[in-house]
Amino acid sequence: MTADAFRNLIAQTRDKSFLVARRGIEKEGLRVSRDTHRISQLPHPTALGSALTHSAITTDYSEALLEFITGVHATPESALEELFHLHAYTSQSLPDEIIWSASMPGELEGEADIPIAHYGSSNIGTMKRVYRNGLGARYGRAMQAIAGIHYNFSLPETFWELSLAHSETTLSIQDWRTQGYLALIRNFQRRLWLLNFLTGSSPAVSRSFLEGQAPKHLVEGQSKTLMSRHATSLRMGDLGYTSSAQDGLQICYNQLETYIQTLTDAILEPHEHYASLPPMSQGELLQLNHGLLQIENEFYSAIRPKRVTQSGEAPVRALRARGIEYVEVRCLDVNPFTPLGIDVDTTALVDTFVLSCLLEDSPLCTSHSRKIDNENNQRALNQGRSPSLRLLDDAGNEQTVVEASASILMSMEATAELLDSANRTSRHTEAVKAARSKIVGDEETYSARVVRELDEQSVDYSTLMGEYSKRWNRMFQDFALPLNARTQLADEAIASLRKQREIEKSDTSTFDAFLQAFYAQYH
């Protein structure tokens, strides 16, 4: 087993530098009016370059939903510094707007209030646009106005080379690395409930986010606010990135080929409801295809196996050809209580959590285990801070949160010591200590703080989050961005606009032919 080789390597090697992880951060945030907090109706600012080709500043679903993408960093401090520079540059380029600093949006004025992103007239730009048309048609635009943080995690190649040497396998280095990351993902799914408990910060939402009658688990807060007092993350629950159509999509992480084939089938096989939708809407294609998934990204998951793709290459094709390169943790809420939505303490917690998933034995998943994992996660999302909450063990027996977290935290403590040794810090051990305090109620979780501040200040959700958004915006506005960072971002903005024009001029095929060639990769 991979974990045995990892443990042998760690036990027999004094220098733990092979455990110095690499991470990159992708952070989303809506552009909103400084005064009204309404989602921006303005195009993506020219000062930020092209959303299609800029490497660090782009958009997600909505034209107003900014996405900041850092490079790969050996330290969390350098990753967060780059993210801070991206925020500062952007804030200083927005004269009348601020960046919303929470996962759930503020007041909405209907679906038409959420403009779908534009990426120009090129085939690839049109594809990105049509994909988003499809998301809006399938799930509604409100869901696509939710923001989150994606945390890309990998270990250096020396870790995989050395651990392979301490194993008895005949696998290639590519297959060894892939099996290791799959084992990590399986354990991550088993333990996901705990990470959502610790990092969730979206227990409330503006009433305008919902049409019609609110779900039973939500109660009235202050004016125009709905909340679930014991919830941790509505974003990751039924109100967020969920799809009833995808409920039957049984994704298995036992083998890479199985994972690839399941996604491929979901893309290629027509879905009855989506096939019945009209082909056009307001003069544009409504969706890319009739499959359960238009492309792989439509599959909503808390973690993904990833591989950097080449231009025009489908993600599953890259995975099949070159194996897993890193994992993308997708369950992190935007923390409204910190300027970037994530801080160094959270990075230490996530690094420890993810690596502990790799270093522990990881049994193959079954339909039974997936059912238990999903049930535990939903309970933690909807009732995580309830004193009466019970979670299920492998046999289906109920246990308290303290009992359910005990073995996970022990594993994380051991991992934290290794990471502290490798990085010459105490931050990982401190992060696990803080996690224990939150589990037993001695320290407040982010979600509990949101509920408490809504109650104490007697304000609605949009007002509270708006005040934090304005506070952080003032910080970014006042920040003296280093000249080299400002120059680099300004230059890239200009270069990205030029690159978009070049792509548009170089297209020689029709959009239909372009799509046909793209989907041919799945056959």
d(CA 347, CA 52): 28
| In the block, residue with structure tokens 């990470």 | 195
CB 306 within 8 A of CB 327: yes
Residues 6+ apart with CB under 8 A from 120: 50, 52, 500, 503, 504
**Cα 282 from chain centre:** 31
pLDDT at site 244:
67
pLDDT tens for each residue of 284-318: 999 999 999 999 999 989 999 999 999 889 999 99
pLDDT at site 255:
96
| In the block, residue with structure tokens 């923001």 | 147
pLDDT at site 99:
98
pLDDT at site 223:
78
pLDDT at site 256:
97
CB 335 within 8 A of CB 342: yes
**pLDDT of 335 over the 80 cut:** yes
What average pLDDT does this structure show over 394-405?
A: 94
pLDDT at site 509:
95
CB atoms within 10 A of CB 42: 13
Task: Give which of 212, 211, 206 is closest to 226, Cα–Cα.
Answer: 206
CB 411 within 8 A of CB 360: yes
pLDDT at site 243:
65
pTM of model > 0.75: yes
**pLDDT of 464 over the 70 cut:** yes
What average pLDDT does this structure show over 100-125?
A: 95
pLDDT at site 487:
97
pLDDT at site 252:
87
pLDDT at site 213:
65
What average pLDDT does this structure show over 313-331?
A: 97
pLDDT top residue among 345 and 312: 345
Task: Give which of 451, 453, 433 is closest to 443, Cα–Cα.
Answer: 433
What average pLDDT does this structure show over 438-454?
A: 95
What mean pLDDT is reported for the chain? 94
C-alpha R_g of the chain: 23
Lowest mean pLDDT among 21-35, 203-217, 273-287: 203-217
Q: What sections of 397-460 are H helices per DSSP?
A: 401-423, 427-440, 446-457
What average pLDDT does this structure show over 13-20?
A: 92
Residues 6+ apart with CB under 8 A from 124: 52, 312, 503, 514
d(CA 448, CA 460): 16
Question: What is the 8-class DSSP label of residue 39?
Answer: B
pLDDT tens for each residue of 124-165: 999 999 999 999 999 999 988 999 999 999 999 999 999 999
Angle between helix 344-359 and 76-91 (nearest 10): 140
Output the six-digit token pair for 507: 């297209």
d(CA 195, CA 435): 9
For every residue of 454-511, DSSP letters joined together read HHHHT--HHHHHHHHHHHHHHHHHH----HHHHHHHHHHHHHHHHHHHHHHHH--S-H
**pLDDT of 212 over the 70 cut:** no
pLDDT tens for each residue of 222-277: 778 999 999 999 999 888 766 666 777 888 899 999 999 999 999 999 999 999 99
Task: Give which of 194, 321, 301, 313 is closest to 252, Cα–Cα.
Answer: 301
Output the six-digit token pair for 394: 């492998």
Question: What is the 8-class DSSP label of residue 42?
Answer: S
pLDDT at site 1:
61
At 392 the three-state DSSP class reads strand
Cα→Cα distances 64→101, 115, 133, Å: 13, 7, 15
Q: Which CATH class is domain 2-522?
A: alpha beta
d(CA 117, CA 132): 8
pLDDT at site 242:
66
What average pLDDT does this structure show over 467-473?
A: 98
pLDDT tens for each residue of 159-183: 999 999 999 999 999 999 999 999 9
